[in-house]
Amino acid sequence: MTRRTERLNQLIQIEISDLLQKHVNDPRLNGLISVTGVSISKDLENATISISALCDTADRKEILKGFTSASGFLRRELAHRLNIRVTPNLSFEFDDSIERGVSLVQLIEKVSAEDKVGNPDGRKRNLKRK
């Protein structure tokens, strides 16, 4: 990835996050939604925006519908805010890294609690390496 595309990815991520917080009035997009990344194509024509939200799968479909309906507005606002020749077409996808991180933290806490209490067989886990 070139330096220009990296910089453009960061700019688009910042601007879309700002637009979501301050200017988008769609009730489907009012929850806890974060833009986790942007990947723009080599020809700068298409951008895939990764979003994350703590919700179930039924709500994810509604959120994606909200982003699809707001994509024209978001693209127009990006054209005004960014000084680029061609504004990329926007597509959205879910990034489940936050949910995976939460489940990983829960597993770590569970193992930590078992270590403090002891294993179900009554023995403590040997943490020292040989």
3-state secondary structure of 60: helix
Hey, which of 40-44, 45-49, 81-85 has the most confident mean pLDDT?
A: 45-49
pLDDT at 9: 94
Owning domain of residue 76? 3-117
Q: Is residue 34 part of a domain?
A: yes
Q: Are 55 and 63 in contact (CB under 8 A)?
A: yes
Q: Give the C-alpha distances (Å, rounded to integers) separating 9 from 18, 34, 52, 56.
A: 14, 15, 17, 27
CATH code for position 101: 3.30.300.20
Confidence bin at 28 (pLDDT 50/70/90): confident
Q: Is residue 126 part of a domain?
A: no
Task: State pLDDT tens for residues 76-120.
Answer: 999 999 988 889 999 999 988 777 888 899 999 998 888 777 656
pLDDT at 48: 96
Residue 125 pLDDT exceeds 90:
no
Q: Is residue 59 part of a domain?
A: yes
What's at 84, amino acid-wise? I
Structural domain count of the chain: 1
